[in-house]
Every structure is written in structure tokens, then in C-alpha cells.
Chain A
Amino acid sequence: MVTTAAIIFVLLSESIFGLGDSVAFFQEVSLWHFLTDTKWAPQYGEGEFGILPLLVGTMWVTGIAALIGIPFGLATAVYLSEYASPRTRRIIKPLLEILAGIPTVVYGYFALVFITPLVIEPVAGFFGIPVDTFNAVSAGLVVGIMIIPMVSSLSEDVLRAVPRGLREAGYALGATRFDVSVKVVVPAALSGILASFLLAISRALGETMAVNIAGGIRPTLTANPFEQICTMTSNIVAMAGSDAPAGSVQYQSIYAVALSLFAITFAMNVLSQFILNKYREVYQ
């Protein structure tokens, strides 16, 4: 049917066109330079097109987001599936869904206007670290909060699917709730939980607006998370909205970055499907 053809077409044409137009890009800038140069400044003179600053920016934001989103999300999932009463669950789940439904620009605004001045600056000031208005920590923090509902609802589904028999066997042997949750249920659901982590990370990778607003658009290659950074996604938005003429190398750089981004997220999605299928324990 037309619809299904359209879908396959979408998948393929993205790669081909990222590639087709990027070939024009890659003719001007060698692949090696693209991957290893350390400055990304397309607008200055000849233009330097190393993707490393963008990659590092993306890694900072995604890393911090994962550090926050995964533990909180998993703990929430464990609480909802093992400890909470049905009534509590009925209240908390819709609230988490609301958290997931807030548009990302709102999170970006929140990060810029509330989190950076009120949370980060006092803490960093306490330690004597200077903080930019746009920094990686606030972007990562906010993206982490954004993926908490995702991790928690996916993990909770998997945890609930573990049959009660396993838990009851654990209790019968004299284990506490903690023992059963951590040593029986979570390992049983591990494949699904890992898959949910990967999906959440790939969501964090692709997050654009919140990072743009909170993290800034100046690509810097830095080990300091309190500085301004630019991720791959931010860069695409910035370039698309700028005045670079279509067909120029600067414009084509959008496609190159998009292709890299797509490759990474696609690989993670495929990996998560693979893990889900390979390590799933089937119960009757």
C-alpha cells in the first residue's frame, strides 16, 4: 500500500539524500577532516568543519541526561510496580504522562529562566566555578527530567510482566522486598529495561529545542560542563534558520550533521530491538 511504501521511502531517502547532498559536502571537505577537526565554524572565512565539538556537546548533554533520567526513571518504575498501591499508581501515572507531554521549548525556557539562575549558579558559586548563562549542565538536567517518564513507563511495563510466581517464590524463601525487587524481578526484566534505557538515550540524543535554548549555539570543545556548548541537533536548527544560501557548503553541512545524527540514533534503536529480542526470557 502507498502508506507503507511511503514509510520505507522516508527511511531510505533520508540516507540517500543525506548522502547525495552530502557528497557535495564531502567533496569539499574530506571525511577525515570532518571526523577529526576540532573546530566547527562554518561561517568564518573558509569554514572549518570538524564535527568533534558538536559530538562532544551532544555527549555532554546526553551523558548528564542519562545520569539523571535513568536512575530516577528506574527507581520510579520499581516503586510503581513493586511498592505502590493501585490507587497511588492511578494518580502518579497520569501525572508522569503530563510530564512527558510538555513541549520541549517549555523545558528549554524552564532551564534558561529558572534552573540556571536559581539552581546551578548558587551551587557552582559555592564551589567557585564560573557558570555561563548557557551551559551544558542545565541542558542535560532538563533533558534528563524529560526522559524520566519514558524510562519509568517502559521499565514499569516490563517489570509488571514478570510473573508473580517468581516474586512469591522469593518471599517464600524469606527474602525482603528489597531482595526480591533487586535480585529477582529486575534481573528477570533486564532485557526490557536495557532496551528502555537505549530508547531514552536515543531520545535524549535527538532532543533539539530544549538544548538549543538551555545550552546555547556556540560549539566549543570543552571538558567543562558549565560552559556553553552546541549539540548536533542545535547546530542543524541554527544553520537552517540562518541566511546561508541553499547549495553552499555551509548549507550542505546540515545534511552531513543530520546524517551522523540519524546514523547514531538508528543504530541505537536497532540495538535496543536486538537486545529486546535476544535476551528476553519467555514465560509460558
Chain B
Amino acid sequence: MNQKIILSARNIHKTYAIGRTRQHVLQGVNLEVRRGEFVAIMGASGSGKSTLLHILGLLDRPDEGHVFFEKRDLFTLSSAQQDHIRSRQIGFVFQFYHLLPELNLEENVLLPLMVDSSILAWPGRRHQARQQTREIIDKVGLRPQARQLPATLSGGERQRTALARALVQNPKLLLADEPTGNLDTVAGKAILDLLSDLNRYGQTIIMVTHDPDIADRADRKLTLRDGKIS
């Protein structure tokens, strides 16, 4: 494992309005993740795990605090710079897969490469992009299903598709929000095996889970309680 810190969060605060009340979900979270680490963040339901992950992945903004990715303060960057980091540097796997229903499996995995490419640049990049996509689809074992729409895939296949999509740009950091939460035991194990394999090859992973057995797969376990990491 490379000891260099890839991500650090300082004094993260986040409050949500629920009805007329405000809930202070994150109350000064501090966190450091090293390159090549597999970190699991645990906590009860509603403890703010997903909120923290969204903030780390630039999908949400903290009310207070800083997130440094490779020493860059993410929330001081421009929108375009943040979009670029989300596109190329960070991969996100959601609990509910979040695949586009109108695109087939291969197109869903290709999507980050298309988002990252202009219309004019695409003809020159297309061949390599498709090659990259096929390699990652092979890695997750979904070549036969490449032309199928998400509605025709099983839960495990959809989550593997989502994982392939998150990895297609070789991101430096992979964030997984309850990746097995919507899967049966067998499918869930397959996903966890894939994550472990990826980490073995140097992929930095932060995974959120409420299941201690799943958290055991990680190198380090952190618990989010009362809005803080312990």
C-alpha cells in the first residue's frame, strides 16, 4: 500500500431540514484515506454515512469544512474542475445501481467516456473508448449481456454494470454506497469479491455499509456515530 494520503476531510458539517426542524447530521467529521487503502465506514441507518460519501464524491456540498483530494481543496474549485474530477478521478457505485434505462449495458459503461469527450473529439476517441469498455465488461464477467437493457438484467448484473461504469475511467478513488444493500447473498458476495480484487491491484476504495460482515472485507473500519467518526 502506498502511504500517501489521497483524500482527507477536515471538520465536515452538514445539516438537513426535515419538516420544520433541522438535523445536524455531520458534526465535524475528520477523515484521512491513504492510496491503495480499503476503508469501510459503518453506522446505523440515518447516521449520515451516505451523506458523507456524497460529500467526499462531490455530489453534495458541506455546510462547513474542507475535503482535500490529492491536496486540492475540492470545494474551492470551479464547477468545470469539479465535473472533471467527478468524471475522471472518482468512481461512484450506488446502492440502487442508477443505470440509464434507455441505454444498454455497454452504453451505460461507456457513458463516463462519452461524458468526458466532446462531439468533435469523439470520432477519434471512439475506438479506444469501446476497447476500454469491453475490457472492463470482461473483467466484471458481463460480456454476453453487453447488448441487453438494464431492465432485463438481474440485480447482481446491474450492480456489476454500475461497478464497471465506475471503473471505466481508471479512477484514483472508488466510492461505494452500500454496494450490496439491494442484492442477495450470492450476488453481494460476487460484488465484494470484485472489490477485494480491485483493491489487491491498488484501487483505493471507500465503502459505506451498515453490515459488520461486509465491513470486515476492508483494511480499516470507521464508525460514524453522533455525527463524528470514531
Q: Do A and B bind each other?
A: no
B interface, CB within 8 angstroms of A: none
A interface, CB within 8 angstroms of B: none
